[in-house]
Structure 1
Amino acid sequence: MAEDNGGEAGRLVAVELDPGSIGRSTADVEHERRIAIYDLVEDNRFVLPGHAAGEYRLHLAVRDNRLVFDIRDAEDRPLVLHLLSLTPLRRIVRDYFTICDSYYAAIRTATPSQIETIDMGRRGVHDEGSKLLMERLAGKIMVDFETARRLFTLVCALHWKG
C-alpha cells in the first residue's frame, strides 16, 4: 500500500509516453500499453513525498539510459523530475520480453494448460519487476503494488525497441 501525505492519497489523472522513446512494437505490445495506461489512470495510488496530495500527470520517457518520471500537476505544470538508471531493470525487462514472446506464440498454438503455465511464469516475472520498480522509486514516489504493476508494463513498453 502507498504511504500517504497527511491521510490523503495522490493519484494520476493522465499518463503520456514520450513518442521519441517508443520503438517499433507489435500489436500485442501496443495493446498492453493502451490497457496499462487506461487501467493506471482508472485506479492508482501515486504519492509524492514532500508535496501536497493531489492529482498528477505523468510523462514517461527514456533518455541517456535513464527512465524519466516527469511529474506535473493536474494543469500540466512541472512539479518534479526523477531520473532512474535503467541498468537495474534491464535483466528483468529482458526476461519479461522473453517469456512474453513465448506466451504470445503459445496463445496461437499451445494447449490451454501450456498457456496457463507460461502465463503463470509471465505474471511471476512481471511481479518481480513491479517490486523492483517500487524499490527504485522508494522515497521519491510512493505507489501501491497494482500501480507499480501498471507502471512496470509501461516501462517495458518504453524499453521495447522492436
Structure 2
Amino acid sequence: MTADATKRLCDVVLDETIGRATPDVEHERAVAIFDLLEENSFAPVGHDKGPYKLALSLVDSKLVFSITGEKGEPVATHILSLTPFRRIVKDYFMICESYYEAIRSSSPSQIEAIDMGRRGVHNEGSQTLKDRLEGKIDIDFDTARRLFTLVCVLHWRG
C-alpha cells in the first residue's frame, strides 16, 4: 500500500455497461482488480479525502471513471476516450498470443525476447493512460500499469 492511505483505491467495480464475459475473462477481470487494489496510488487532482471507490462504465466507446469517497460521496467523474488505446491494445494482444505460442515451441532466448516486447507494449499503454489522466487523476506508473491491465482485460473477449 502507498505511504499515504488517503491516496488510494479501496474498491473498483465494473457496472453493467461493461457487460458479462466468459468465466475465463471474468476471472482475469477479478485478478486485474485484485492486483490494482492490492497496491496503488490514486487521487483525483485537488482532492485528498480518500481512500476512493472507482466505478468503471462504458459510454460510446469511452471509459467513464466515476469516483466516490469511501462512504459513497461523489468526488469526480472523468471520461476517457479509448480511441488512443485501440492500436496499443491490439498490439498487446497480438504479442501476448506470440508469447503463449512461443512458450510451447521456442527457445528460452526467443521467449525472453518476445516477453521484453510484450512488456514494452504494456509500458507504452501504461504511459499513454498515465498521460491521458494527467491533470485529472494522480497515479504513479505502477498503478498505471495495473489500470492498463484492467483496460486490456475489459477489451478481451476470451
TM class by shorter chain equals 0.7 to 0.9
Matching of residues 41-60 of structure 1 within 5 Å: 41-60=37-56
1:14 match: secondary structure: strand
Question: Who is 1:114 aligned against?
Answer: 110
Report the TM-score, using the length of structure 2 for normalisation: 0.86
Provide the rounded CA distance (Å) in 2 between the counterparts of 1:60 and 1:69: 5
Question: Who is 1:12 aligned against?
Answer: 9
Provide the rounded CA distance (Å) in 1 between the counterparts of 2:43 and 2:34: 19
Q: State the identity as a percent.
A: 57
Matching of residues 4-153 of structure 1 within 5 Å: 9-22=6-19, 24=21, 27=24, 30=26, 32-153=28-149
CA RMSD, aligned part only? 2.3
Aligned pairs, number: 156
Query: By how many angstroms is 1:108 displaced?
Result: 3.1
1:83 match: secondary structure: strand
Query: By how many angstroms is 1:153 displaced?
Result: 0.5
Consecutive unaligned residues of structure 1, counting only runs of 5 or more, are: 1-6
Deviations 1:27-71 (A, max 9, x none): 3x5554333222211111101112223100111222211011111
The answer as to whether partners of 1:22 and 1:159 remain within 8 angstroms in 2 is no
CA shift in 2, pair 1:25/1:127, >3 Å: farther
The answer as to whether partners of 2:6 and 2:50 remain within 8 angstroms in 1 is yes
Provide the rounded CA distance (Å) in 1 between the counterparts of 2:157 and 2:133: 24
1:10 match: secondary structure: coil
Between 1 and 2, higher relative CO (CA 8 Å, sep ≥ 6) is seen in: 1
Query: By how many angstroms is 1:93 displaced?
Result: 1.0
